[in-house]
C-alpha cells in the first residue's frame, strides 16, 4: 500500500527573541571565507596561503562555499526527519521553525519506507538568507522505533545561491550516542559549478552531535559539535583536504563557529585554523608551517546574499 500526502510549511511564531547583537539570528552553516583582518594590510590571508603552496584564493573560496552547501543540504534533510522522529516518540505532532512557507514537502509512504520530496520551487529564501531552488529527495525506513537509521538523500535540478549542485549523501542517524545525544554521520559527495565556471568536487565524512536544543522546536537554541574531514578537487585537478582536529562548536544563534581547530593541507604542507575560545565573533587564528600565528577575520558565503535577521 502506498499513501501520498502533501504539506506546505507555514510560518511559525518564534518562541524566543534574541537581542540586536552580533550573536542574534539563525545560521545553518559551518563554512567560512578567510580575509585579512587589517584593512591596511597589503597582503591578505589567501595570498599567504597561496604562497605557502597549500591552496589558492579561488580554491579556498570554493571549498568554503561547498562546505556550507553540503552542511545546509544535510541539515535540511535531518531537520525534516527530526519532525517525524520527535512526533513519533512524543506521540503528538511536532513542528520545527526552520523551513519557511515557500518550501513544499510531499511524502510517499509504503509498507516499509518514507520518501519526502523537499521542493524549493524556482527560488525559495531560507531564514538565514540563502536562496535555494530545485528538490532534495529524502528516503528512510518507516520503522521509527529503530535506534539507528540510514537516511539517503539526492538532488534534482538543485541550486544554492545560483551554484548548481549535483550529488548525494548517506546519513547514519543515531537517536542517542554514548552521551545520550542525537548524532549523525554523513558521507557526502557533491559536485558544484559556479556561474563564473569554477567547479569543485567535494567528498566528506562528518559527524555531528546535537548537544543542546533537541526537541525545542526553535532552531536558534540548537548547538552542535562537528568532527571529521573532507577533500576537494578543483577544476584543474588540484586536491587538498581539511581535517577537524578539535571539534567545531556550532551555536545556531551565532553566525560563526565559536571554537575548534581545522587543519588545511596539500601534500606535506599544512596550516591550522583555530576558531577561538567560544566567543561569538569573527576572529580566528591561522598558524603557518613556520610556526608563526596571525589573527584573521572570518567571513562566509552570505556576503552576496545578506540574511534577513540582524546580527
Residue-number span of the structural domain to which 117 is assigned: 3-11+29-303
Number of structural domains in the chain: 1
Q: How confident is the model at residue 232, as a pLDDT?
A: 93
In a domain, 310, yes or no: no
Q: How much is the pTM?
A: 0.76
**What tens digit of pLDDT does each residue of 156-198 get?**
999 999 999 999 999 999 999 999 999 999 999 999 999 989 8
Look at phi and psi of residue 213 and say left if phi exceeds 0, alpha if psi is from -120 to 50, else beta: left
Whether the pLDDT of residue 16 is over 70: the answer is no
CA distances to 27, 67, 161, 191 from 72, rounded to whole Å, are 9, 8, 12, 15
In a domain, 308, yes or no: no
Q: Could you tell me the three cell numbers for 93?
A: 505532532
As a whole number of angstroms, the distance between CA 127 and CA 39 comes to 30
In a domain, 205, yes or no: yes
In a domain, 45, yes or no: yes
Amino acid at each position: 500500500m502506498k499513501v501520498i500526502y502533501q504539506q506546505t510549511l507555514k510560518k511559525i511564531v518564534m518562541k524566543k527573541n534574541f537581542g540586536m547583537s552580533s550573536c542574534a539570528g539563525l545560521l545553518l552553516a559551518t563554512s567560512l571565507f578567510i580575509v585579512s583582518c587589517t584593512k591596511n594590510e597589503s597582503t591578505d590571508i589567501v595570498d599567504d596561503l597561496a604562497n605557502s603552496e597549500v591552496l589558492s584564493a579561488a580554491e579556498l573560496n570554493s571549498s568554503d562555499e561547498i562546505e556550507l552547501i553540503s552542511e545546509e543540504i544535510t541539515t535540511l534533510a535531518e531537520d525534516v526527519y527530526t519532525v517525524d522522529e520527535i512526533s513519533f516518540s512524543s506521540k503528538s505532532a511536532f513542528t520545527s521553525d526552520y523551513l519557511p512557507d515557500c518550501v513544499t514537502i510531499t511524502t510517499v509512504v509504503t509498507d516499509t519506507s518514507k520518501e519526502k520530496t523537499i521542493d524549493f520551487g524556482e527560488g525559495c529564501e531560507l531564514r538565514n538568507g540563502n536562496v535555494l531552488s530545485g528538490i532534495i529527495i529524502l528516503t528512510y525506513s518507516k520503522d521509527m522505533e529503530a535506534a539507528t537509521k540510514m537516511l539517503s538523500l539526492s538532488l534534482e535540478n538543485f541550486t544554492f545561491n545560483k551554484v548548481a549542485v549535483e550529488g548525494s549523501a548517506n546519513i547514519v542517524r543515531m537517536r542517542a550516542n554514548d552521551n545520550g545525544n542525537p548524532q549523525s554521520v554523513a558521507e557526502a559527495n557533491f559536485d558544484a559549478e559556479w556561474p563564473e565556471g569554477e567547479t569543485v568536487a567535494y567528498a566528506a565524512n562528518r559527524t555531528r552531535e546535537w548537544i543542546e536544543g533537541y526537541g525545542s522546536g526553535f532552531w536558534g537554541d540548537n548547538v552542535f559539535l562537528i568532527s571529521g574531514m573532507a577533500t576537494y578537487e578543483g577544476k584543474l585537478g588540484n586536491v587538498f583536504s581539511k581535517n577537524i582536529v578539535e571539534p567545531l562548536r556550532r551555536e545556531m544563534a551565532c553566525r560563526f563557529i565559536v571554537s575548534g581547530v581545522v587543519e588545511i593541507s596539500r601534500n606535506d604542507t599544512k596550516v591550522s585554523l583555530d576558531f577561538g575560545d567560544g566567543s561569538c565573533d569573527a576572529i580566528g587564528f591561522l598558524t603557518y608551517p613556520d610556526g608563526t600565528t596571525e589573527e584573521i577575520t572570518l567571513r562566509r558565503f552570505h556576503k552576496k546574499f545578506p540574511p534577513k535577521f540582524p546580527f
